[in-house]
Amino acid sequence: MTYTLITANRNYSSWSLRPWLLMKALGLDFVDRVEPFAKPVNYDAFRAFSPTGQVPVLIDGDTTIWDSLGIALYLADRHSGVWPADDAARAFAQSAVCEMHGGFSALRNDCTMNVGVRVQPVPMRAALLRDVARLRELFEQGLDRFGGPWLAGGAFSLLDAFFAPVAFRIRTYGLDVGRGQAWVDHVLAHPAMVEWERQALAETWREESHEAELAAAGMITADYRQG
């Protein structure tokens, strides 16, 4: 049976990107269903298909799986390649994925995801500087320890999918992640990431709260969105 993956706006939804990219990279067959952020609050509308009123959601027959990490773990039980095969790389990937899922709050709050723009950020808070320093440390550690070009070695894994939205943020806001930029460039060139960006730039709708967060983040220096 073909999976159905429910996601939201390509330009804004970092949580949607993670399972979408993973499934694309692994070559899994799925129906790609987009439910855009049409209103400032989408909870009631999204409750029709998601118990949390949020995306992403994976539907597998009669089973509904919500939350990006929950979806990834569900897929890992059924498909190879989600986690690295090497024990040390897998332990590193699992720890970093959990860190990303539960952490980096300053990065999320101060650098809202917006694929189609470039921004000169406002002066960064100490908490954001710490998050950026941690990203640099983590990226460089993964590349040095496991040899790249992906964060846990030679094969794309869930670790790369979970940090992929960060790659867009790094480019949007010009964040300095040192030698970790090699991974950023590599993941941005992945065919599925190129496809996600193409769809994001073609979107014509705008969501008020996300645009307000962008305005607070800094000065837009370029806007490549077509709408």
Longest dimension (CA), the chain: 50
* DSSP reduced 3-state for 223: strand
pLDDT > 70 in the chain, percent:
98
Q: Give every CB contact of residue 88 below 8 A, 6+ residues apart in sequence.
A: 145, 146
pLDDT band for position 205 (cuts 50, 70, 90): confident
pLDDT tens digits for range 23-68: 999 999 999 999 887 666 777 888 888 898 889 999 999 999 999 9
- Contact by Cβ (8 Å): 1, 60: yes
CA torsion sign for 52, 53, 54, 60 is positive
pLDDT digits (tens, 9 = 90+) for 105-116: 999 999 999 999
Residue 138 clears pLDDT 80, i.e. is over it: yes
- Whether the per-residue pLDDT at 97 is higher than 80: the answer is yes
List the alpha helices (DSSP H) in the chain: 14-26, 43-46, 68-76, 87-102, 105-110, 126-146, 158-173, 181-188, 191-202, 208-217
pLDDT value of position 1:
63
Q: Is the dihedral of CA 209, 112, 162, 99 positive or negative?
A: negative
Q: Which residues pair with residue 7 across a beta bridge?
A: 34
What is the value of pTM for the model shown? 0.95
